[in-house]
């Protein structure tokens, strides 16, 4: 069975626990990177990994390894402080890669 995980600050991820998702609190980007590497090992079976935008900003090189891979889908979510725009930019880029043009507008 495929799993879903959420990586982010404690305040961000704990709400997802009630939904039955695996929550992985990370104090900083280094810890988030270690968690991401653990979750994406061949032995793990995660279909979706949500990552808080503020942490993802520092993990872009690791996240980019999965941008053309069907599994896991790595989706950026806003943190407690609100969105910094990375999630929307990543979605826009993925749609543009898929259809060949920007259909979402500016």
- Can you spell out the DSSP letters for the chain? --EEEEEE-HHHHHHHHTTTPEEEE-SSHHHHHHHHHHHTSTT--EEEEEEEHHHHTT-HHHHGGGTT-SSSEEEEE-BTTB--SHHHHHHHHHHHHHHSS--S--
Q: Residue 11 domain-assigned?
A: yes
Q: Residue 22 domain-assigned?
A: yes
What pLDDT sits at residue 38?
93
Q: Residue 45 domain-assigned?
A: yes
**CATH code, domain with 27:** 3.40.50.10580
Query: 5 with 37: CB under 8 angstroms?
Result: no
pTM: 0.79
User: What six digits make up the tokens of 4?
Assistant: 């879903």
What is each CA distance from 61 to 12, 51, 58, 69, 82, in whole angstroms?
23, 14, 8, 14, 23
What pLDDT sits at residue 96?
62
Q: Residue 106 domain-assigned?
A: no
State the total domains in the chain.
1
What pLDDT sits at residue 80?
74
pLDDT tens string, the chain, 106 residues long: the values are: 889 999 999 998 998 998 999 999 999 999 999 999 999 986 678 999 999 999 998 999 999 888 778 889 898 888 777 665 665 666 666 656 666 676 666 6
């Amino acid at each position: 069975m495929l799993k879903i995980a959420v990586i982010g600050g404690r305040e961000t991820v704990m709400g997802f626990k009630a939904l039955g998702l695996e929550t992985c609190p990370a104090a900083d980007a280094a810890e988030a990177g270690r968690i991401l590497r653990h979750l994406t090992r061949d032995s793990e079976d995660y279909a979706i990994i949500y990552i808080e935008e503020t942490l993802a900003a520092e993990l872009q090189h690791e996240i980019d390894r999965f941008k053309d891979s069907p599994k896991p889908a790595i989706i950026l979510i806003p943190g407690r402080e609100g969105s910094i725009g990375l999630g929307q930019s990543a979605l826009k880029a993925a749609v543009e890669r898929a259809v060949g043009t920007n259909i979402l507008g500016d």
